[in-house]
Amino acid sequence: MNHKIVLEGGNRLKGEVTISGAKNAALKLMAASLLLDGNTELHNIPELTDVVTMTQLLQTLGAEVEYNIKDKKILINASNINNIEAHYDFVSKMRASFVVLGALLGRFHEAKVALPGGCSIGERRIDLHIKGLESLGAQVRIEGGYVIAKTKKLTGAKIYLDRPSVGATENIMLAAILAEGSTIISNAAQEPEITDLANFLNAMGADVNGAGSSEIIINGVKLKNLKPVTYTTIPDRIEAGTYIAAVAATRGKAVIRNIFPNHLSAVTSKIFEMGGKVTVLDPFSIEVSCSGRLNSANIVTQPYPGFPTDLQSPFISALVIAEGISIITESIYENRFRQLGELRRMGANVQQESNKAIIKGVKQLTGAQVISSDLRAGASLIVAGLCANGASQISDIYHIDRGYEKIVEKFSELGANIKRIDSEENNLDVKIINTDENFY
């Protein structure tokens, strides 16, 4: 069922929130389980529709998958894989599923995977994926909307990526695990999710070195060397960054738990620049606070360790009510400003010029009916609604459910006046609870 989110702005977020496991790590670990002729047990798996989609995809390939939502655990047995085709119905829903290509090719020397889909935030090329797999010895062609890869043998190679693509790095890593000899990936992606994948593979018995740096070395092993593994996914830095932006934008004070603070350095440094405060409480918790109106800031999205493209949308919502003029430069995806029109419906003064969003801060936003165009845009509209005067209604929230676990419940625990309603309801009648009269 397609629900909507309704919320009433004006409450300063206070309390604490616990961050879930990282979506972008968990999905890749699930795909990597295809390499193992045995059992994989994954913990700290978030309750997301993307996880359900990946579960279904693995099952169509012949894997036995048990998704225990209550315990946030997934059990995967890939011993009886009998299908090497990842169908369009699944891959078209989320790009992350495309990395089954490398795993299937690595273990079975052939794979047929639909061209990737997901949020419509811009062109997502697969040229580097193909270049890397061909360097390892695969013959790759695109036919009928599918990538078809075959090889008699994969052999290690030196591969330079023209740009540090996360997906290409992951696909090459997975294909190289069982290749003969050593593979070196230069200009590799350095995201924490890449390191998490490497740690998982090493726990399985692989030999991966340098993950988290620009050069990754994979020494190929035999299938018999891989063993059953139990592994815990890292926290979701993008979810954490979204709550950080929301707390600062509402001039609140909250503790963010179950995070790795060093994964958020680019984000927290911007919060300081914008006038907020971040205090590290322990190795896995921070406190975020802001006592007044935020200051303007300029942000350029970059590959890790730069500012994440996945967080520019929530931060735009914080900056539209900041003092002064801000400029957001999107250097990763060309269509990642699709929420700007919806923010203007709420009173934001923001314009797009090429790959830049020019923001002139206003003192307050006004609640409105808006539509979530993609995952992060949906989160952006929630942040904006929390800061707005009056009620907002967000439609097409299935995008949000792809990447944020229990987002309504978590914001409610922080004091937000927010709820999920049936799609047939069409009103903005939300009871105001403990609204701070001095918020605006």
297, 326 in Cβ contact below 8 A?
Answer: yes
Name the residue among 419, 393, 422, 394 with its Cα closest to residue 408.
419
Beta bridge partners of 208: 218
pLDDT at site 336? 74
CA distance 63 to 49: 19
- Percent of the chain that is helix, strand, coil (3-state, to 5): 35, 30, 40
Q: Residues 404, 408, 410, CA angle at the centre, nearest 5°?
A: 80
Extents of the domains making up the chain: 4-13+294-421, 23-232
How confident is the model at residue 431, as a pLDDT?
A: 42
Please tell me the predicted confidence (pLDDT) of residue 96.
87
Q: Name the fold adopted by 4-13+294-421.
A: UDP-n-acetylglucosamine1-carboxyvinyl-transferase; Chain (3.65.10)
Give the pLDDT score at 440: 54
- Of 306, 308, 337, 304, nearest to 320 by C-alpha is 337
412-433 exposure pattern, b = at least 16 Cβ within 10 A, e = fewer: ebbbbbbbeeeeeeeeeebeee
Where b means 16+ CB within 10 Å and e means fewer, 20-59 reads bbbbbbbbbbbbbbbbbbebbebebbbebebbebbbbbbe
Distance CA 36, CA 364 (A): 54
Cα-atom radius of gyration of the chain, to the nearest Å? 22
pLDDT at 414: 98
Q: Distance from CA of residue 244 to its chain's centroid?
A: 15
How far apart CA 356 and CA 278 sit, in angstroms, is 27
Nearest C-alpha neighbor of 267 from the set 327, 219, 233, 309: 309
Burial 177-203 (b: 16+ CB within 10 A, else e): bbbeebbbbebbbbbbbbbbbbbbbee
Give me the pLDDT at residue 439, please: 55
Residue 45 · residue 81 · CB < 8 Å:
no
- Cα separation, 254 vs 274, in Å, equals 17
- Tell me what pLDDT residue 293 has: 96
The pLDDT assigned to 260 comes to 98
Q: Does domain 23-232 bear CATH number 3.65.10.10?
A: yes
* Active site (catalytic) residues: 119
CA pair distance 316, 301, nearest whole angstrom: 12
pTM for the whole structure:
0.94
**pLDDT tens, N- to C-terminus, the chain (440 residues):** 578 999 999 999 999 999 999 999 999 999 999 999 999 999 999 999 999 999 999 999 999 999 999 999 999 999 999 999 999 999 988 888 999 999 999 999 999 999 985 444 344 589 999 999 999 999 999 999 999 999 999 999 999 999 999 999 999 999 999 999 999 999 999 999 999 999 999 999 999 999 999 999 999 999 999 999 999 999 999 999 999 999 999 999 999 999 999 999 999 999 999 999 999 999 999 999 999 999 999 999 999 999 999 999 999 999 999 999 999 999 987 667 889 999 999 999 999 999 999 999 999 999 999 999 999 899 999 999 999 999 999 999 999 999 999 999 999 999 999 999 987 655 544 443 444 555 55
